[in-house]
Chain A
Amino acid sequence: MGLTLAEKILSAKTGSRVEAGDLIVVGVDLIVAHDGTAPIAINQLKELGLNVFNPDKIILVLDHAAPSPKDTVSNLHKTIREFAWKNNIKLYDVGCGVCHQLLVENHVNPLTVVLGADSHTCTYGALGAFATGMGSTDIAVAMGYGQTWLKVPHTYKIKVDGKLPPHVYSKDLILTIIKKITASGATYMSMEFHGSILKQLTIDDRFTIANMAIEAGGKTGLFPVDEITLKYLESAGRPANIRLEADPDAYYQKELELHTSELQPVVAAPDQVDNVHPVSDFEGQEVNQVFIGTCTNGRLSDLQAAARILKGNKVNSRVRLIIQPASAKIYLQALKTGLIETFIEAGATVNPPGCGPCIGRHLGILADGEICLSTQNRNFKGRMGNPNSKIYLSNPEVAALAAVKGYITDPTGYR
């Protein structure tokens, strides 16, 4: 019997063949924590009485509430900075961007094991890394020992054939998949992506899709390492010499097949990510705020999609449009290519790179009874800072169009 991508990576890492269900202890190649999770990890490492096993394998990012909105947060930032400086750990300070974007831009390589004290660590599966989110204590243990225990996951094979129709984005694809398998359909499992769609999916598309594996309960979301991955790694100046594919006779506990002809622009309606419906079902739904950004859809291609709608248009006078590039690098590219100018001219607010509104920390908290359309990955009750508000999720084009119109509307046929 052949091996799935998850089994292949973990077998390579442990040096012996491992299969779904095996309980293993495995070495960790990269560990990441941010200002929301690092402080507890730092305390727990102290509790353990250990130093970091290897500072070069740890990355800390100040992104969740950055720059700090409050004195208590400033103190947590200070703790993290001092810990990083003392231990010679790479620190991305405020304004650098969302941890997951920084990790894929600068650090993650195929065939590695990456742990992050954040559930969306699964994003790096787009680069063929076994990457998964854990809590702060697990991360502290990994920082101290360089190892973690885990159960080799079973795999959910997701096969998608065809090409994305006009106005349909990778966000619509992953939301549709989550609708089909539900918010817990891949719990404890690795999601592995197959099919002729792969050739069409840019690396940004793959990041968006892998990012949301956790929204179906997945442990990670894995893509093969192919031409598209290698090109990306090469352009980022990283080694591009490993290809990775699942064995044709690998065992899959569950399988889903879909054809892109089934796809259309969708939204996830409040308050669950799997509450997915065609955009047209919510035609005319008024919005108070539109947020374009995050580790799901804050990349250059997302900003370009938004700019195509916003160019020459104005944000509706009853809507706030907040745009937040996922990293400083993306911000700079957006600046140099005129996107930021387009946004400002349209009347948008551009936030510094980071998480802010996505998690209700600052820079865009909703009022009672308000409705936000966001390109983020979660619409849970209170996620954006107010349990009396509602969040819809969509692709960046639908979001930008709603900002202009003042209501949710299907972009199919628009211009």
Chain B
Amino acid sequence: MILKGRVWKFGDNVNTDEIIAGKRLLTLDFEEIAKYAFEAIKPDFAAKVKPGDIIIAGDNFGCGSSREQAPIVIKKLGVSAVIANYFARIFFRNAINIGLPLIEAPGAHQTVNEGDIIEVNLKEGVIKNLTSNREIHFKKIPQFLTEILSEGGVINYLKKNGRFKV
């Protein structure tokens, strides 16, 4: 799978309250609540992000609550992948479960600028920065999780396999 998009940058410890505030979770209308993604820390994000865009963050992205609405709104807005130095655990599972690709690529945050166009090759484990012509290599996620992602999430994966094949 190759993903290509424009980069939005975030810092360290972006928590799920910042991704989508608790007060927005009063409905299951995800299109509606997605309008408020990152409102406290990047208020123009939801209005300006384009399908295919990619988020690059620092350490511990997605820390805090278990709210699945966090990866859901990111996916709803059309973000094709989130790259971080590393992710908080619950967010990591939630994103894979709903089919939002996550990439742990320490170094991406330092070398890629906001607005750069990058190409991510999930199979090869390579990020190509088309703006600066640099390459970043990353460790691919375990095969078992790649399979969940390629089915578009854990629900489809389980419907197909009937059980976890770890």
Report A's interface with B, CB cutoff 8 A. 23-25, 36-37, 39-40, 43-44, 47-49, 65, 70, 72-73, 76, 116-119, 121, 133-138, 140-141, 145, 147, 149, 183-184, 187-188, 217, 219, 272, 359-361, 365, 378, 380-383, 385, 387
Structural contact, B28 and A40, CB atoms closer than 8 A: yes
Which B residues lie within 8 Å of A138 (CB)? 93-94, 97, 154
Stretch at the interface among B2-10, B49-57, B83-91, B113-121: B83-91
State in angstroms the CA–CA spacing of A24 and B144 once bound together: 12
- Are B68 and A187 within 8 A (Cβ)? no
Q: Are A187 and B17 in contact (CB under 8 A)?
A: no
A70 and B98 in contact (CB under 8 A), knowing A23-B142, A49-B159? no
- Give Cα A383 to B17, complex, Å: 6
Tell me the nearest residue of chain B to A25, going by C-beta: B164
Any A CB within 8 A of the CB of B1? no
Partner pick for B22 among A117, A188, A361, CB 8 A cutoff: A361
Q: What residues of chain A lie closer than 8 Å to B88, measured between beta carbons?
A: 184, 187, 217
Verify B142–A135 contact, CB threshold 8 A. no
Whether the Cβ atoms of A147 and B68 lie closer than 8 Å is no
**Given A380-B18, A382-B18: A23 and B166 interface contact (C-beta under 8 Å):** yes
Q: Assess whether A119 is in contact with B163, with CB atoms less than 8 Å apart.
A: no
Q: Is the CB of B66 within 8 A of A37?
A: yes
Scan B26-41; emit 1 where CB is below 8 A from any A CB, else 0. Answer: 1110000000000111
Residues of A within 8 A of B59 (CB): 184
The answer, yes or no, to whether B155 is at the interface (CB within 8 Å) is yes
Cβ of B68 and Cβ of A360 under 8 Å apart? no
Closest to B28 in A: A39
Distance (whole angstroms) from the CB of B140 to the closest CB of chain A: 15
When each residue 121-152 of chain B gets 1 if its CB lies under 8 Å from chain A and 0 otherwise, what string results? 00000000000000000000010100000000
**Which residue from A117, A183, A187, A360 sits with its C-beta under 8 Å from B86?**
A187
Task: Say yes or no: B18 contacts A381, CB within 8 Å.
Answer: yes
Residue with the highest number of chain A CB atoms closer than 10 Å, among B15, B23, B98, B166: B23
Contact of B164 among A37, A149, A378, A382 (CB under 8 A): A149
Q: Kindly identify which residue among B17, B26, B89, B164 contacts A217, using a CB–CB cutoff of 8 Å.
A: B89
Contact B15 A380 (CB under 8 A): yes
Residues in A with CB closer than 8 Å to B65 are 118-119, 359, 378
Identity of the chain A residue whose Cβ is nearest the Cβ of B71 in the assembled complex: A135
| A381 CA / B11 CA spacing, docked (Å) | 14
Contact A217–B28 (Cβ < 8 Å) = no
Q: Does B101 contact A (CB under 8 A)?
A: no
Chain A residues with Cβ below 8 Å from B60 are 183-184, 187, 217
B63 within 8 A of A: yes
Closest 3 pairs (CB-CB, A-B): A387-B40, A135-B94, A135-B68
Assess the A135–B67 pair: CB atoms within 8 A.
yes
**Within the complex, what minimum Cβ distance (angstroms) separates A143 from chain B?**
12
Beyond contacts A118-B65, A118-B66: 20 other A-B pairs, Cβ-Cβ < 8 A, are A23-B142, A65-B26, A70-B26, A76-B27, A119-B64, A134-B66, A135-B66, A135-B94, A136-B66, A137-B68, A137-B94, A137-B154, A145-B158, A149-B166, A184-B59, A187-B60, A219-B89, A380-B64, A381-B18, A385-B22
